[in-house]
Amino acid sequence: MSAPLVQGYEVVIGFETHAQLATRSKIFSRAPTAFGAEPNTQACAVDLALPGTLPVMNREAVACAIRFGLAVGAHIAPRSVFARKNYFYPDLPKGYQISQYEIPAVQGGSVAFELAGAARTVRLVRAHLEEDAGKSLHQDFHGMSGIDLNRAGTPLLEIVTEPDLRSSAEAVAYAKALHQLVTWIGICDGNMQEGSFRCDANVSVRRPGAPLGTRREIKNLNSFKFMQQAIDYEVRWQIERLQDGYAIEQATVLFDPDSGQTRAMRSKEDAADYRYFPCPDLPPLCIEAQWVEQLRVELPELPRAMAARFVADYGLPEYDAATLTQSPQMAAYFEAVVTAAGKALAKSASNWIMGEVSRRLNAEERDIAQAPVSAAQLAALLTRIGDQTVSNNAAKQVFDELWSNPVVTGSGSATESGHDTAVGTGDLARVDQVIAAKGLKQMNDSGALQAIAEQVLATNVKNVAEYRAGKEKAFNALVGQVMKASQGKADPAGVNALLKQLLGT
């Protein structure tokens, strides 16, 4: 892959991502992990590090790590080890963080993604399990700090890449692909505002062919937008420093979205000695091959594989396939529509989901799982467009009605039979009812349509004359008039043909 150079420098980026695992309880205690509770109400004796408390591994957190490892084709270590990372901080109750250090549970693997239509791959070094710290609150405490330990002990999977990324755009594309993957396999809710998915970017620059430059680590990037801005700023800053004759010093930096700049938090000189050693409270984590195999079987089809299948099986354009596999819910919705409406309507289903459905969901900030129009209802609507009961245009009015006044129709006798469609009778009945109530039934009566067309030609002499003189636009005006006169119930293609026939062209 050819790297785009920035002022003659190659950009080198590696990522460390903390994905908060979607377990009900904490990694080493039974306290709940729910976000947004009153401070210190979700911390038990273990999380508070009261004397005599001990950690006990949450099996579900391990299952999440295994699922991730399987999804990225990594080696799942049959034996991994938890260590203690020792440092003092008020929101670190034990005075150490339990984290996998020398032997992580997930080793190697890679994440594939696309950038501007080209396939890219980032190699992973590892993914290890660890606990989160609490939160220090510096506001509202009159010069003192408040400590909220609700987050302490929340399970994290830290996912570390090789320095394989070569631009901020590539970095963001990777982060989005990783985000999609961890939410897709259900190990992380992906909520970046709440800190469920936090990225650290290690950025350095070098002349092409030169050894790796000194890196600076941008901490806690919690939006894709800031990620790109921060990396771009950092790259410019490093190049300027080098061009001014300075060396880059290893440092940890923070991105300030207000100023658009990165600033150093600490330099290498004050790097702590964490005195890592194996945690004596936790025996090595042993993962049996049988468990891995079980999770492998249960792993859902991954987004890229699913997108490829959508292209192959349904003939969708790659863009559609990629869009529909943004979330498992959307993909499932699409597949449910196609299953009910038939493969022949797959592209139509894709258009509707990416169009009307997404537009309404976005406007109402809803998830597709809460769409008032069920996949079965949409399939029923597509069926009625397909059999020309209603025009595509008029169907939008039907859709709006279905959306705004949802009626649970149930699937009725939605039995799949051969290549026939399997739309439920209840859903069809509901759609038909709306079509009838709104009088949107497409005009398939050629006699009535012909009468309207002749009437339009008779009253729009000027347009007819212009059309005959060679102005295509005039023809469109005539079609519009017919459509209007039919109250949108006519099939536009049919109108076209009819007019041309009547005009003798």
Partner 1 sequence: MSAATLDLHQMGVAELGAALHARQTSATEVAQHLLARAHAHSGLGAYLALNEAATLAQAAAADARLSAGERGPLLGVPLAHKDVFVTRDFPTTAGSKMLQGYRSPFDATVVQRLAAAGAVSLGKLNCDEFAMGSGNDQSAYGPAHNPWDRTRVPGGSSGGSAVAVAARLAPAATGTDTGGSIRQPASFCGVTGIKPTYGRCSRYGLVAYASSLDQAGPMARSAHDCALLLSAMAGPDVERDSTSLEQPPEDYSRYLAQQWPGASASRPLQGLRIGLPREFFGPGCASDVLQAVRAALSELERLGATLLDIDLPRTELAIPAYYIIAPAEASSNLSRYDGVRYGHRAAQPSDLLDLYQRSRSEAFGPEVQRRILLGTYVLSHGYYDAYYIKAQQIRRLIAQDFQTAFGQCDLIAGPVAPSVAWAIGAKTADPLAAYLADIYTLPASLAGLPGMSVPAGFGADPLPVGLQLIGNYLSEARLLQVAHQLQLVSDWHTRTPPPFTPCPGSHS
Q: What CA–CA distance (Å, rounded) separates 362 from 356?
A: 10
- Binders of partner 1 in range 83-102 (CB under 8 A): 84, 86, 88, 90, 93-96
502 binds partner 1, rule: CB under 8 A = no
Q: Which is nearer to partner 1, 131 or 491 (CB)?
A: 131
The residue within the footprint of partner 1, chosen from 55, 69, 303, 424 (CB under 8 A), is: 55
Binding characters for partner 1, 67-86, by CB under 8 A (x = yes): -----------------x-x
Binding characters for partner 1, 280-319, by CB under 8 A (x = yes): xxxx------------------------------------
Q: How far is C-alpha 451 from the chain's CA centre?
A: 52
CB of 279 to partner 1, least distance (A): 8
CB of 372 to partner 1, least distance (A): 45
CB of 51 to partner 1, least distance (A): 5
The residue within the footprint of partner 1, chosen from 3, 5, 6, 48 (CB under 8 A), is: 48
50 binds partner 1, rule: CB under 8 A = yes
Binding characters for partner 1, 122-151, by CB under 8 A (x = yes): -------------------------x----
Contact 218, 254 (CB under 8 A): yes
Neighbours of 107 (CB within 10 A): 17
143 φ/ψ sector (left φ>0, alpha ψ -120 to 50, else beta) = left
Residues 6+ apart with CB under 8 A from 175: 15, 17, 199, 224, 227
Q: Which is nearer to partner 1, 224 or 291 (CB)?
A: 291
CB of 58 to partner 1, least distance (A): 11
277 binds partner 1, rule: CB under 8 A = yes
Q: Which stretch binds partner 1 (CB under 8 A): 55-63, 186-194, 343-351, 481-489?
A: 55-63
| Residue 469 backbone phi and psi in degrees, to 5 | -75, 0
The structure tokens 């003092």 sit at 88
H runs (alpha helix) in 342-404: 346-352, 358-364, 375-386, 392-404
Strands 216-221, 251-256: parallel, antiparallel or unpaired by DSSP? parallel
Token pair in block for residue 375 = 């996949």
The residue within the footprint of partner 1, chosen from 258, 270, 273, 472 (CB under 8 A), is: 273
Helix, strand, coil percentages for the chain (3-state, nearest 5): 40, 20, 40
The amino acid at residue 326 is: Q
Size of the site for partner 1 (CB under 8 A): 28
- Determine the number of helices (DSSP H) and then strands (DSSP E) in the chain: 16, 17
Closest CA to 75 of 44, 42, 105: 105
Q: Which residues of the chain form contacts with partner 1 (CB under 8 A)?
A: 45, 48-57, 84, 86, 88, 90, 93-96, 147, 273, 275-277, 280-283
